[in-house]
Every structure is written in structure tokens, then in C-alpha cells.
Amino acid sequence: MQFFSPTKGVLSFEGVFAEIMAYVGESPNDPYKLIVGSDSQTKDNEVCFVTAIVVHRVGKGARYFYQRRSHRPMASLRQKIFYETALSLGLAGQLAERLARGGHAYLNIEIHLDVGSSGDTRDLIREIVGMVTGSGFDAKIKPDSYGASTVADKYTK
């Protein structure tokens, strides 16, 4: 599936990986966060899912890439949140494998989740965070999950 970048246009997964490595290579001694997050929006009898990859040079900016897909309406909010999380985990796993193969396993991946302690998703936090941490990734929830709630959300509209 193809990715989109506001600055580079359409990219393959390998193109995204090359852009991430180039960005990290510009200032290799700076700290980085590699973030994967998904969000969704129901409209016109379908659900638009967006998954974003953000490479954040802490305190100095970021670059991001996203992919969009459509799905039939989901039966419940729970099902939609679990699907968002599964999309993020799938992409994070692919990214982690590629980082390890390229000798860049030192870049930890955070998964940003579209759940928070206030609102309809509060009852799902434990399950969703457990799903992510059980897969070996760090999990962030709202208000710290800007990869999902800001970046991915922007492209669901």
C-alpha cells in the first residue's frame, strides 16, 4: 500500500524508510521518537482509516507519512478501535523488522492510540494498551498520542 508525504508526495514503504533514515542521518546525535498511530472517521456509509508514521526529532521538528484506506461501517466503537490498533501494530511490526535488518533497532517505536481516560474509549484502555505492550511496543494514550489524535486524524476528514 502506498504512503503519502506532504513534502515528498506518493511513496512506497521502502521510500518512507529511506526518507526516515535520511532525516535521522541529518542529525544522528539528536534524540528521535518513531511513532505509529491510526485514527478513523465514519462518513458516507464507510469508515476512513488513516495510519501515520511520524519521525520526531525531539525539540526540533518532525516528518510524517500516512496511508489511507476505506472499510465498510463497523458494528461498534470497540471493533473500530481494535481495528485501528491492529493497523498500527501491523505497520509498526513491518517498520521494526526493517529497522532491525538495516542495523537501526536502536530507534524505538511508540504506538499512539486513539483512546483516553475521558470519553467513550476509557473502558478500552487496559485492553488496547495491553495489546500493544504485549507486542513489544510502547503505548501512548490521549492526550499524549498526537500521532493518532492529531496527525492521523487530520487526514480522516
What is the structure's pLDDT at 9?
97
Residue type, 151: V
Q: Single out the residue of 139, 108, 105, 110 nearest to residue 36, CA to CA.
A: 110
| pLDDT score of 117 | 94
The predicted-structure confidence for 71-116, as pLDDT tens digits, reads as follows 999 989 999 999 999 999 999 999 999 999 999 998 999 999 999 9
- Check if the beta carbon of residue 125 is closer than 8 Å to that of residue 101: no
Digit-coded pLDDT (tens) for 40-77: 999 889 999 999 999 999 999 999 999 999 999 998 99
- How many CA atoms lie within 13 Å of 132's alpha carbon, on the beta-carbon side? 31
Helix boundaries (H) for 27-105: 77-101
pLDDT in tens, 111-152: 999 999 998 999 999 999 999 999 999 999 999 999 999 999
